[in-house]
Amino acid sequence: MRARKLAGGLISAALLTGTVALTVNTALAEEGAPPLTKEEMKKASKIYFDRCAGCHGMLRKGATGPALTPERLKKRGLNIEAIKAFIYNGTPGGMPDWGKQGVLTKDEIDLMARFLLNPPPNPPLLSWEQIKESWKVYVPVEKRPKKAANPNWQNFFGVILRDVGKVAIIDGTTKKLLNIVDTGFAVHILRTSASGRYMYSIGRDGKATVIDMWMKKPDKVAEIKVCYDARSIDTSKYHGYEDKYAVVGCYWPPSFVILDGKNLKPITRHATSDYYYDTKDFVREARVASIVASHYDPLWILNIKEAGQVWLVDYENVDKGTVSVDMIDAERYLHDGGWDLSKRYFLVAANMRNKIVVVDTKEKKLAAIVEVGTKPHPGRGANIDHPKYGPIWCTGHIGEKRIACIGTDPKKHKKYAWKVAKWIEMPGEGGGNLFIKTHPNSKYLIADRPLNPDKNLQRSIFVFDKYSFKLVKTLKVPDDIPGRAVHPEFNKGGSEFWISVWARKDQPSAILVYDANTLKLKKVIKGDWVRTPTGKFNVYNTMKDIY
Amino acid sequence: MRARKLAGGLISAALLTGTVALTVNTALAEEGAPPLTKEEMKKASKIYFDRCAGCHGMLRKGATGPALTPERLKKRGLNIEAIKAFIYNGTPGGMPDWGKQGVLTKDEIDLMARFLLNPPPNPPLLSWEQIKESWKVYVPVEKRPKKAANPNWQNFFGVILRDVGKVAIIDGTTKKLLNIVDTGFAVHILRTSASGRYMYSIGRDGKATVIDMWMKKPDKVAEIKVCYDARSIDTSKYHGYEDKYAVVGCYWPPSFVILDGKNLKPITRHATSDYYYDTKDFVREARVASIVASHYDPLWILNIKEAGQVWLVDYENVDKGTVSVDMIDAERYLHDGGWDLSKRYFLVAANMRNKIVVVDTKEKKLAAIVEVGTKPHPGRGANIDHPKYGPIWCTGHIGEKRIACIGTDPKKHKKYAWKVAKWIEMPGEGGGNLFIKTHPNSKYLIADRPLNPDKNLQRSIFVFDKYSFKLVKTLKVPDDIPGRAVHPEFNKGGSEFWISVWARKDQPSAILVYDANTLKLKKVIKGDWVRTPTGKFNVYNTMKDIY
């Protein structure tokens, strides 16, 4: 007898946050899969979206993390107890120890294990109507200031307060907090417009916000929710298109969305679902991992994570209804990256293949694929004009303690071009680096290590001489400030660098300001509002892509 | 009590043809939907694919025909009896009368009505591995002739024998049958390579075949199945890329596939699923309706039916792993079209909006959208260099009896450019035209009318003076030959035109050859092999896009 009983028909579960409505087809339940109530399905879907989807995908086909479909789990011989153990303890490969860390309770882990043994619910599409309805203009363009209220505005910093869904605007000159702006949930990145006047944030929840730095109290002037899940935003930086467009890269639905740069009015969108560059099989969930705007062409560089393709999106004819895309086969899974010193070459990590992909944006083709260390994580990387190697671009790694510096001048320094010209080694065991940074006016290369299991290393900042590559100093987060040191960022002139101390949401922490010459801690930015600070973005350095 | 009984779990139904394997999730069955056995599901899926999917879509979201999801049918208040009536009688809007025509039995119609009240089965993906396995080279390039065996080869015709899955190769000079080549099921179109040597066919079943016209007995030299459902194929015609690549436009999976031009080795593919150009909502089933190669740029023009976008696909860097696409917002639903006389402008029908879209392939942008009559169906259209209107491009209509001629010279004949410069009216009631054709050496414009309900008009060919637009003569299919007159095609020199007589599969019919000056029937090509002849493609006219 093949007939069986199933609970419910199609149910529509608006998730607890109200941000994601998953259509849960309980009729899809697998034979013998552990049953879930509607309430449990709702809760599990929300936890999955918040904690798991980033690495494993909404459709659970896998990306940075392995595939988690019921068939796949069964094939790997994983029963409910084994799955619970994975969720509780994590793995050395990078899976967090959600149970040990206390992020998920035992009951929640049991729920998630049962959820994973059922087929993934269909993630909803986001209609254009919904997008348009979410669009809010707080200050119309004509009511915005005609000139900057504060002469220091190009040295302002936007600081992501990640887990509280806010962005702090700090005057980099006076170190004063100017405003705290409500943005999307778990903001992933901030970018500035070509003029620098507008700063854009994109939340994990797909909400894009634009903040006007010319206001006396910089504040958001418009916002719109264009995806359920997103990681990237940038603007049109080509001559004649300054501040004209913004573009959001979505994780779900897999797409990019083009917006008016000043008021975020939605203009158009295109899907990024495509075929893997290598197997040529279909990947519905081909997500936009990161976006960077070219300064010299009307192009955005979109890194399509799963497909392993770099898309050069030409926005020159958007107003005529044309979007042009060069789809360049590269490597899996693309993550983030940055410009070389000349801003002709874009370098991006293929983090599961331990490669850096180099795209020539002038010739619109792949220039090289460079083998680096385990799980490169460049952020934007760091550029050094080196007397011996010529211009080099460096990346740290999550998976090991070395920093790889790649030669980027195939003409005058051909010998070092598109290979690791220099390895730099950090002290202590293991990797865990997320960001490195330098500045043309600084002699130092600064590296964090927040993902290292050693608490001491998590709270250390490593300062290297950028020419000799020798470790000059290891800076430590002061004992009275809880959290990990993360994301070095220079001020406009390169005379200071700032470090976030990333603690738990319920603990105020701090932003540390170091003198970039003496390496002395010159200021601790504190306050009850300093919660989970992560990325910080100096207006000038971000508008000019200085790193 | 919400629990209910459902038959079966996931079943995999290899369709009767063996060409499409649909994964049928019977657990998806709607509450109260009429039950289907596995066998019935198999049979209905096959009938749906053969007869319905072309207009209504594999996912039944609608295109040329309306959406047919169970929700949609219920919303329209259609119960099982109403659906059966539609399938039996057809509609004036274009739905064929499958019952009346005797194509489907009453039992089959009952089955289809029940099938439609169940959710559509998930169409399968076609893996790259499956595509590679289907690839067959019958004659390797190095074993092919170094020169043409027959001096008349540029005047050969390929004739589609649609319902028997074959292509006949006929010597246009001697009118002799040279070979009958087994190709895909229900071949949709034939195209030739830039040199003219290779003729490509694409079957409804996604099977691409290449025939070598230089062989003593022209025959297929390679084939590959790259989709489950397809309508279009073309090759690289740009200088330096002659005969280098072929490209297939798939209906399912929605994609285009690039192949080696000489041996059909699969190179790469990209998805065409995207957002509707107007509503900006996602359309998984955004199908490639037609493809035409540019002669002056390394471009293919792909018409993405549902999305209403024209994609200009640049193949210049395919060998470097880059495919570039200009995605141009146009109109719904795109069907087929052809070049203007200068081959700079491509004109394509948006058949549900009664529009012709004009794309400027030099500037890579939309040039105009022209309002024409009801359901334009240009095929490739017909070009006339007119003393008054300048160069014009004409299309017939399925939905009405007028032919619309559009001015295509915005420089010297601006007054007539991108509007209907001249309407030509066919005698009798109703439309039903599928193809019109002319030739630079002919003074006539020839039009068929096979979809007209009047049997007399179905069997008539209308000959107009191409300058005065007056009806010169109406040609009739000889009484002893069964079927409808369809698809005029000129020979190389323009001194003859050929007409297919399209009868049922079980009736041998004929190909009629008319003198293009005297309009006399000069030859009837007959034989038991002449079954369901439809499109005919002269090698020279096809390689040069002369129409």
With CB atoms and an 8 Å threshold, state whether B324 touches A325.
Answer: yes
- Cα-flanking dihedrals φ and ψ of residue B108, to 5°? -65, -35
pLDDT tens-digit series, residues A445-501: 999 999 999 999 999 999 999 999 999 999 999 999 999 999 999 999 999 999 999
Q: Which two tokens stand for residue A228?
A: 């359920």
ipTM entry: 0.90
CA B204, B233, B335, B511: dihedral to nearest 10 degrees?
-70
pLDDT tens-digit series, residues A125-158: 899 999 999 999 999 999 999 999 999 999 999 9
Single out the catalytic residue among A55, A295, A327, A413.
Answer: A55
With CB atoms and an 8 Å threshold, state whether A323 touches B320.
Answer: no
With CB atoms and an 8 Å threshold, state whether A2 touches B2.
Answer: no
B28 secondary structure, DSSP code = G
- Among B118, B267, B281, the strongest candidate for a mutation testing the A interface, having the largest count of A CBs within 10 A, is B281
Omega before A508 cis (within 30°)? Answer: no
SS3 label, residue A292: strand
With CB atoms and an 8 Å threshold, state whether B277 touches A320.
Answer: no
Name the band, by pLDDT with cuts 50, 70 and 90, for residue A544.
Answer: very high
CA distance B254 to chain A (A): 10
- Cα-flanking dihedrals φ and ψ of residue B42, to 5°? -60, -50
Contacts of residue A19, defined as CB under 8 A and 6 or more positions apart, other chains included, come to A185, A205, A206, A225, A228
Q: Which residues of A touch B282 (CB under 8 A)?
A: 125, 253, 271
Q: Is B62 left (phi over 0), alpha (psi -120 to 50) or beta?
A: left
- Among residues A44, A13, A25, which one has the least CA distance to residue A116? A44
Q: Which two tokens stand for residue B240?
A: 């330096």
Residue labelled with tokens 């005029």: B488
Q: Which residues of B touch A275 (CB under 8 A)?
A: 128, 255, 268-271
Single out the catalytic residue among A58, A227, A352, A377.
Answer: A377
CB half-sphere exposure, A48, CA atoms < 13 A:
30
B124 secondary structure, DSSP code = P
Kindly identify which residue of chain B lies nearest to residue A30, measuring between CA atoms: B9
Q: Which residues of B touch A127 (CB under 8 A)?
A: 281
Task: Identify which of A9, A322, A330 has the shortest CB distance to residue B31.
Answer: A9
Q: Where are the alpha helices (DSSP H) in B123-208?
A: 128-134
Give CA–CA dist B522/B541, Å, rounded.
21
Q: Which two tokens stand for residue A71?
A: 């068939």
Give CA–CA dist A441/A81, Å, rounded.
55
Q: Spell out the long-range contacts of A518-523 with Cβ–Cβ below 8 A and sequence spacing 24 or more.
A: A519/A444, A519/A463, A519/A472, A519/A473, A519/A475, A521/A475, A521/A478, A522/A496, A523/A175
CB pairs under 8 A between A and B: 128
SS3 label, residue B113: helix
Kindly identify which residue of chain A lies nearest to residue B368, measuring between CA atoms: A320
CA distance A347 to chain B (A): 17
Query: Starting at the edge strand that comes first in sequence, how are the strands of the sheet with B187-192 ordered?
Result: B136-137, B219-225, B207-212, B198-203, B187-192
Kindly identify which residue of chain B lies nearest to residue A25, measuring between CA atoms: B28
Give CA–CA dist A147/A238, Å, rounded.
22
- Among A10, A309, A327, the strongest candidate for a mutation testing the B interface, having the largest count of B CBs within 10 A, is A327
Kindly identify which residue of chain A lies nearest to residue B275, measuring between CA atoms: A270
Q: Spell out the long-range contacts of B354-361 with Cβ–Cβ below 8 A and sequence spacing 24 or more.
A: B354/B399, B355/B331, B356/B395, B356/B404, B356/B406, B357/B310, B357/B330, B357/B331, B358/B406, B358/B408, B358/B418, B359/B301, B359/B310, B359/B312, B359/B328, B359/B330, B361/B294, B361/B296, B361/B297, B361/B299, B361/B301, B361/B312
Identity (one letter) of the amino acid at B537? Answer: F
With CB atoms and an 8 Å threshold, state whether A273 touches B273.
Answer: yes
With CB atoms and an 8 Å threshold, state whether B3 touches A2.
Answer: no
Report CA-CA distances (Å) from B80 to A246, B45, B83, B87, B99: 50, 17, 5, 11, 15
Identity (one letter) of the amino acid at A479? Answer: D
Q: Which residues of B touch A268 (CB under 8 A)?
A: 275, 280, 329
Contacts of residue B198, defined as CB under 8 A and 6 or more positions apart, other chains included, come to B192, B210, B211, B212, B213, B235, B243, B261, B262
With CB atoms and an 8 Å threshold, state whether A253 touches B282.
Answer: yes
Q: Answer whether residue A5 shows pLDDT above 50.
A: no
- Which pLDDT value is given to residue B31? 56
Q: What is the DSSP string of B266-302?
A: EEEEEE--EE-TTT--EES---EEEEEE-SSSSEEEE
CA distance A257 to chain B (A): 10
Report CA-CA distances (Å) from B444 to A297, B196, B406, B426: 50, 25, 17, 14
CA B16, B17, B18, B20: dihedral to nearest 10 degrees?
-90
Q: What is the DSSP string of A169-180?
A: EEETTT--EEEE
Residues B430 and B450 sit within 8 Å (Cβ to Cβ): no
From first to last of the 547 residues of chain B, give the pLDDT tens digit: 333 332 222 222 223 333 333 444 433 444 568 889 999 999 999 999 888 998 899 999 888 789 999 999 999 999 999 999 999 998 877 788 999 989 999 999 999 999 999 999 888 889 999 999 999 999 999 999 999 999 999 999 999 999 899 999 999 999 999 999 999 888 999 999 999 999 999 998 999 999 999 999 999 999 999 999 999 999 999 999 999 999 999 999 999 999 999 999 999 999 999 999 999 999 999 999 999 999 999 999 999 999 999 999 999 999 999 999 999 999 999 999 999 999 999 999 998 899 999 999 999 999 999 999 999 999 999 999 999 999 999 999 999 999 999 999 999 999 999 999 999 999 999 999 999 999 999 999 999 999 999 999 999 999 999 999 999 999 999 999 999 999 999 999 999 999 999 999 999 999 999 999 999 999 999 999 999 999 999 999 999 999 9
- Which pLDDT value is given to residue B185? 82
- Among residues B492, B512, B504, which one has the least CA distance to residue B531? B504
Give CA–CA dist B60/B70, Å, rounded.
9
Q: Give me Rg for the CA atoms of chain A.
A: 23
pLDDT tens-digit series, residues B461-485: 999 999 999 999 999 999 999 999 9
Q: Answer whether residue A78 shows pLDDT above 50.
A: yes
- Which pLDDT value is given to residue A184? 79
Question: Higher model confidence: residue B55 or residue A302?
Answer: A302
For the residues A250-269, what does the mean pLDDT come to? 98
Q: Which two tokens stand for residue B128?
A: 């790259």
Task: Identify which of B253, B255, B325 has the shortest CB distance to residue A325.
Answer: B325
Task: Identify which of A5, A271, A365 has the shortest CB distance to residue B320.
Answer: A365
Residues B396 and B378 sit within 8 Å (Cβ to Cβ): yes
Task: Identify which of A8, A28, A365 has the shortest CB distance to residue B2.
Answer: A8
Give CA–CA dist B367/B330, Å, rounded.
10
Question: Higher model confidence: residue A29 or residue B411?
Answer: B411
- Which pLDDT value is given to residue B464? 98
CA distance B119 to chain A (A): 12
Q: Which residues of A touch B266 (CB under 8 A)?
A: 280
- Among A282, A297, A323, the strongest candidate for a mutation testing the B interface, having the largest count of B CBs within 10 A, is A282
For the residues A314-340, what does the mean pLDDT come to? 97
Nearest 5 degrees, angle CA B398-CA B403-CA B407?
130
CA distance A30 to chain B (A): 8
- Which pLDDT value is given to residue A352? 86
Identity (one letter) of the amino acid at B456? Answer: N
Q: Which residues of A touch B365 (CB under 8 A)?
A: 317, 320-322
Give CA–CA dist B18/A114, Å, rounded.
38
Residue labelled with tokens 């050859």: B513
Q: Of A169-183, A419-433, B1-15, B83-97, which range is least confident?
A: B1-15
With CB atoms and an 8 Å threshold, state whether B7 touches A2.
Answer: yes
Task: Identify which of B27, B269, B279 has the shortest CB distance to residue A280.
Answer: B269
Give CA–CA dist B349/B355, Å, rounded.
6
Give CA–CA dist B334/B287, Å, rounded.
9
- Among A4, A37, A297, the strongest candidate for a mutation testing the B interface, having the largest count of B CBs within 10 A, is A4
Identity (one letter) of the amino acid at A433? Answer: N
**Is A413 in the active site?**
no
Task: Identify which of A4, A128, A323 has the shortest CB distance to residue B6.
Answer: A4
A39 secondary structure, DSSP code = H
- Among A12, A130, A257, A281, the strongest candidate for a mutation testing the B interface, having the largest count of B CBs within 10 A, is A281
With CB atoms and an 8 Å threshold, state whether A322 touches B364.
Answer: yes
Average model confidence (pLDDT) for chain A? 92
Give CA–CA dist B439/B366, Å, rounded.
27
Query: Starting at the edge strand that comes first in sequence, how are the strands of the sheet with A436-437 ordered?
Result: A436-437, A444-447, A460-465, A471-476
Question: Higher model confidence: residue A65 or residue B546?
Answer: B546
Q: Answer whether residue A20 shows pLDDT above 90.
A: no
Give CA–CA dist B490/B497, Å, rounded.
4
Q: Show which residues of B are catalytic.
A: 52, 55-56, 95, 335, 377
Name the band, by pLDDT with cuts 50, 70 and 90, for residue A266.
Answer: very high
With CB atoms and an 8 Å threshold, state whether B322 touches A4.
Answer: no
